[in-house]
Amino acid sequence: MGPPLVVLLPLLLTTASVVAARASSPRVPAVIVFGDSTVDTGNNNQIPTPLRADFPPYGRDMPGGPRATGRFGNGRLPPDLISEALGLPPLVPAYLDPAYGIDDFASGVCFASAGTGIDDATAAVLSVIPLWKEVEYYEEYQRRLRARLGPRRAAAVVRGALHVVSIGTNDFLENYFLLATGRFAEFTVPEYEDLLVAGARAFLARIHRLGARRVTFAGLAAIGCLPLERTANALRGGGCVEEYNEVARSYNAKVRDMVRGLRDELPDLNLAYVSVYESFLNLITNPAKAGERGGGVLRHGQVRDGAHVQRRRAADLRRRRQVPLLGRVPPHGEGEPAHGQPHAGSMLPGGRPVTMSGHVAINGPSSRSTEEKRSSIITKEL
């Protein structure tokens, strides 16, 4: 079993248990998905990004034979398995996949994009779909659904659908701690956690206004124990990076508080927090309980292949587009800026660049208060 499914298994198990506990019937009309690579069923195949899963060994265990569909795993992802468990089709189609249409999307649709985050700056690192754009696709989907089914039936689909949200890991590991953007200079870790939680809250309130009533929101796993982080931690013995795990625990506590508050504020929103931290950590510390033989699900170098290829592709992109990495000056190079990166000439007074998504790029410390920074950065129109 490759590492992607190991990472995603706790999300599947805990989300499925939440569905069973909260659903008033064994079926829902649709599964609607937002988030990152943990739930992206192929949208990144359709956008100009190096962060793709359309090559082996991805998809080697797909039903019907090996097939790299854009899912970041060896086979189906949790949304697919949840959909099938609820009596819906066994694959949740990616919204941007031209092979599917609105008739397919009426029973399930995925807007997720690998590499994205709650923070717009995270999506800009590897030119993937930001969360605000996922919401715009959701709005467009509803317009298409109304045209196909009629207003009443379309509203019933959205209202009864299970909305699955899994996002946040990349904000820390591919943005803040990687020093790929200026967030590390703009915010302390607790401030950045607060920014993300506020952004998550705004997102949930936004999809509620658009009709979502049944939503699961996943917390972070033990991000310091992900295979790539353990590999990068080789000089310290290759174990988990406890500093990252501590951040995940702190962030998760804040998300749980936010979810409780939002449920009180919006009583018609059936919102469930999905805890994945402990179950994921149990897979690391007690692999035999998950059926792993030979001493450990993460011990045998299974991080190679896809994960290392993705990191090499990401490094190449950063060099070409001159995105600073770990404080080093990138090599000289030319190229069009990634989505969200400043174009030449797109500057505000004082030399502050404006990103393609219309947000001010963060390049260093600012004299603004944390509240001012937070309000100016939270995702577009959420």
- Which CA distances in Å does 282 have to 77, 205, 217, 296? 20, 33, 21, 11
Distance, in Å, from the CA atom of 109 to the CA atom of 304, rounded to the nearest integer, reads 30
Q: Burial code of 204-219, b = ≥16 C-beta within 10 A, e = fewer?
A: bbbbbeebbbbbbbbb
DSSP string, 207-242: HHHTT--EEEEE----GGGSHHHHHHTGGGTS---H
- Which CA distances in Å does 113 have to 14, 37, 216, 350, 364? 21, 6, 17, 34, 27
Q: Are 198 and 219 in contact (CB under 8 A)?
A: no
Q: Catalytic site residues?
A: 37
Q: Please report how the helices 189-209 and 131-149 are oriented relative to each other, as an axis angle in degrees rounded to 10.
A: 10
Distance, in Å, from the CA atom of 360 to the CA atom of 19, rounded to the nearest integer, reads 39
DSSP string, 62-110: -TTS----S-SSSS--HHHHHHHHTTS-SSPPBTT-TT--HHHHTTEEE
Distance, in Å, from the CA atom of 222 to the CA atom of 95, rounded to the nearest integer, reads 29
Beta strands at 214-218 and 270-274: parallel, antiparallel or unpaired: parallel
Q: Residue 191 CB: number of other CB atoms within 10 A?
A: 14
Residue type, 43: N
